[in-house]
């Protein structure tokens, strides 16, 4: 598939020069910082030296005072409190954090994760009935609830109070809860708007510590859960999230809670953990519980003590293996369905419905479809008599709005620009498929259907040295708005070392045609088809990341080559 290389340009070269002089760093570092919105010494210091002192006052968040007052009242009156959260990573880490923190202060506290297949996403009537029937007078809802107006009204009629802790975009009307914590409320003065759901839960615990004069370490000890949610929920790792992620990773590497430690040990993670480890190793396993069994299994793992952790982690790992098998099978079926349809190449979107597909993996399958076909994609299955599923989008296309414009055919939907969930009557699937295709065709721009490779800078291989890498390492933790730096170099050749290793990977030793000063080892995963370019000494342009490779105690520089094309 053809891809567009978008090499970022810096218009304000004076900012780069000023930053370079103020920090006494290489121009490459100054440019990378400028691309990340860092323009002066103080901003660079905050970036490179995250500090817990930079965490914002939790009482700056609208509704926090009311939330703390209601919790204190519940403690004073010996009320029963229920901690409610979604079944994904952000939801289950949120529940684990808030439940573990408050159980020291609230004797009658339990947690509740909805059943993905019976109750669906968000606050459910069943959970409210459960609370009312069992004398829970307060529910703290995490990672959901900001649009649950009717559910909150129902809870009020049952004398069940709600504190909503959410980070999704609110609707026009805020639910009538005792307190609503969501920085994205239009009139919320909280300075950082991109906390994950678990981050909101952490701010609630932090506020309780401040209010009650409790050592803030009582809240900070849960930052390993917060960083897990930040990684899994793909929120920007800037501002307060950068601080939370930095110290959360430090805790994960130094002293993780037993459940996470057992999961890491089971998957032989003995190197220093980073955001990628969480995204690709920890998050899928925690998610698997809610996808295949029940999200409460993930909470059990996250709150487990040392004796229970190993057993819980084994069960979670087995569930993830089962999830992966289902994922592969359904993805293969979806590919086959598309490839057998002659009109597939002419469509601007993909909508597939198969009532036998497992509801828990349709979002993963939608992402796989985009990797291959690069079109806004919706994968649907049947659940409780309805067609239900997940949507994923391509860069810059607002799939949520496209779905919203077809909402007359839907029972319910929710989400954001790049990912959404939806439910509709099975008899409406055909009409919705046509309406969605028409909407996408009408609004999508041709360039949005071309995958884009984002490149920070074009540099020479001679620019790469140990000093550069030492500073690049300090750009971590990486994530949205601060991705791992990606570079481009042109006119690259191989020294004659090129060979295919593994299934279809290229192992290389590279230099630039205009300079033989620097020769750097490289690996290009899945790029074995380019071997002849290097064997025939055809100069190529490459896109790559730089990493330190450790082998038998020796550390060397290695390029991870992601894209290759013949030089112009």
Choose the final residue of a domain: 433, 449, 465: 449
User: 143 and 274 in one domain?
Assistant: yes
User: 41 and 127 in one domain?
Assistant: no
Contacts of 11 (CB under 8 A, 6+ apart): none
User: Helices H, strands E: what count in the chain?
Assistant: 21, 19
Report the CATH number at residue 426. Answer: 3.10.310.30
Q: Is 371 a domain residue? A: yes
Q: For the chain, what is the domain count?
A: 3
Q: Is 323 a domain residue? A: no
Q: Is 282 a domain residue? A: yes
Average pLDDT, the chain: 92
The pLDDT tens digits of the residues spanning 525-552 come to 999 999 999 999 999 999 999 998 877 7
Choose the final residue of a domain: 289, 314, 339: 314
118's tokens: 């019976």
Tell if the pTM clears 0.75, that is, is over it. yes
User: Are 199 and 94 in contact, with CB atoms under 8 Å apart?
Assistant: no
- Which pLDDT belongs to residue 386? 93
Q: Is 321 a domain residue? A: no
Q: Nearest-CA neighbor of 398 among 430, 355, 445, 330?
A: 445
User: 372 and 295 in one domain?
Assistant: no
User: 304 and 198 in one domain?
Assistant: yes
pLDDT at 38 over 90: yes
* DSSP-derived secondary structure for 85-140: E-SSHHHHHHHHHHHHHHTTT-SSEEEE---TTTT-SSS-HHHHHHHHHTTEEEEE
User: 477 and 459 in one domain?
Assistant: yes
pLDDT at 291 over 70: no
User: 336 and 444 in one domain?
Assistant: yes
Cross-sheet strand order for the sheet of 136-142: 109-112, 80-85, 136-142, 161-165, 179-181
User: 291 and 198 in one domain?
Assistant: yes
Q: Is 279 a domain residue? A: yes
pLDDT at 267 over 80: no
The pLDDT tens digits of the residues spanning 399-420 come to 999 999 999 999 988 877 888 8
User: Domain of 78?
Assistant: 58-314
The pLDDT tens digits of the residues spanning 95-128 come to 999 999 999 999 999 999 988 777 777 899 999 9
């Amino acid at each position: 598939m053809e891809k567009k290389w978008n090499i970022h340009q810096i218009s304000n070269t004076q900012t780069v020069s000023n930053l370079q002089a103020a920090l006494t760093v290489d121009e490459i570092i100054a440019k990378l910082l400028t691309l990340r919105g860092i323009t002066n010494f103080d901003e660079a210091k905050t970036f490179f030296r995250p500090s817990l002192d930079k965490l914002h006052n939790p009482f700056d968040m609208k509704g926090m005072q009311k939330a703390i007052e209601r919790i204190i009242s519940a403690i004073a009156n010996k009320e029963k409190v229920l901690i409610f959260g979604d079944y994904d990573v952000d939801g289950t880490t949120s529940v684990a954090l808030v439940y573990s923190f408050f159980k020291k202060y609230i004797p009658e506290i339990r947690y509740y994760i909805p059943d993905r297949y019976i109750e669906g996403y968000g606050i459910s009537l069943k959970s409210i009935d459960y609370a009312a029937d069992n004398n829970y007078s307060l529910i703290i809802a995490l990672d959901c609830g900001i649009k649950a107006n009717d559910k909150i009204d129902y809870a009020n009629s049952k004398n069940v109070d709600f504190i909503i802790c959410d980070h999704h975009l609110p609707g026009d009307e805020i639910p009538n809860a005792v307190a609503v914590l969501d920085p994205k409320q239009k009139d919320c003065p909280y300075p950082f708007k991109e906390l994950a759901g678990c981050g909101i839960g952490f701010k609630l615990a932090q506020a309780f510590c401040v209010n009650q004069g409790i050592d803030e370490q009582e809240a900070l000890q849960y930052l390993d859960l917060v960083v897990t949610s930040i990684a899994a929920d793909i929120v920007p790792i800037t501002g307060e999230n950068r601080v939370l992620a930095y110290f959360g990773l430090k805790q994960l590497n130094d002293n993780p809670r037993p459940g996470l430690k057992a999961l890491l040990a089971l998957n032989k993670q003995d190197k220093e953990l980073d955001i990628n480890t969480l995204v690709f190793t920890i998050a899928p396993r925690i998610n698997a519980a809610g996808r295949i069994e029940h999200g409460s299994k993930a909470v059990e793992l996250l709150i487990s003590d040392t004796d229970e952790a190993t057993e819980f982690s084994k069960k979670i790992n087995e569930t993830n293996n089962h999830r992966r098998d289902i994922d592969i099978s359904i993805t293969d079926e979806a590919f086959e369905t598309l490839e057998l349809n002659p009109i597939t190449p002419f469509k601007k979107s993909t909508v597939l419905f198969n009532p036998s597909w497992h509801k828990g993996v349709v979002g993963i399958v939608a992402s796989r479809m985009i990797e291959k076909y690069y079109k806004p994609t919706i994968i649907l299955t049947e659940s409780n008599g309805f067609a239900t599923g997940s949507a994923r989008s391509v860069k810059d296309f607002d799939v949520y709005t496209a779905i919203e414009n077809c909402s007359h055919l839907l029972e319910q939907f929710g989400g954001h620009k790049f990912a959404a969930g939806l439910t509709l009557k099975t008899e409406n699937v055909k009409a919705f498929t046509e309406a969605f295709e028409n909407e996408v065709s009408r609004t999508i721009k041709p360039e949005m259907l071309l995958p884009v490779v984002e490149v920070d800078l074009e540099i020479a291989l001679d620019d790469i040295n140990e000093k550069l890498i030492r500073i690049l390492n300090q750009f971590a933790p990486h994530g949205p708005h601060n991705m791992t730096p990606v570079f481009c170099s042109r006119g690259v050749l191989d020294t004659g070392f090129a060979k295919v290793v593994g299934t279809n990977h290229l192992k290389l030793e590279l230099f630039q045609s205009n300079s033989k000063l620097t020769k750097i080892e490289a690996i290009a995963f899945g790029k074995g088809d380019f071997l002849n370019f290097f064997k025939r000494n055809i100069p190529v342009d490459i896109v790559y990341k730089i990493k330190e490779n450790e082998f038998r105690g020796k550390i060397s520089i290695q390029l991870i080559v992601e894209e290759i094309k013949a030089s112009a």
